[in-house]
């Protein structure tokens, strides 16, 4: 088994593979971070904090653009993204990007 790189939260970073016979990178990340939201204290705390944030509450029942499609806003997905961003970039950068998203009246496409 290869050594996996660890992020800022000491969570392993799945590696991009040229070919994957089980799960693509998005599926592996979803499974990893949804498990943290459901069973780890840090995941439960992040989800609880986001669910009580008035900016998150205001997004309830809104559709979020995904480029060529859209999906209903889900705090769990935001919490998963936030944990990934902390692990990938560090807490300061993750909080800055989260606040930029939550404070924006329009989300730019870039």
For the stretch 46-104, pLDDT in tens is: 999 999 999 999 999 888 887 888 889 999 999 999 999 999 999 999 999 999 999 98
**How far is it, in rounded angstroms, from Cα 106 to Cα 58?**
13
**How far is it, in rounded angstroms, from Cα 60 to Cα 9?**
28
Position with higher pLDDT, 67 vs 37 = 37
Q: Is the pLDDT of residue 14 over 80?
A: no
| Domain positions in the chain | 25-103
Helix (H, G, I), strand (E, B) or coil at 9: coil
- Using alpha carbons only, how large is the chain's radius of gyration in Å? 15
- Which pLDDT value is given to residue 21? 58
């Amino acid at each position: 088994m290869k050594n996996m790189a660890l992020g800022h939260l000491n969570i392993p970073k799945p590696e991009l593979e040229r070919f994957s016979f089980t799960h693509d990178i998005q599926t592996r990340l979803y499974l990893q971070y949804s498990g943290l939201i459901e069973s780890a204290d840090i995941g439960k705390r992040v989800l609880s904090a986001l669910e009580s944030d008035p900016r998150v509450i205001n997004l309830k029942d809104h559709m979020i653009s995904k480029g060529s499609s859209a999906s209903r806003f889900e705090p769990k997905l935001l919490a998963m993204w936030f944990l990934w961003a902390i692990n990938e970039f560090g807490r300061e950068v993750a909080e800055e990007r989260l606040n930029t998203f939550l404070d924006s009246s329009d989300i730019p496409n870039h």
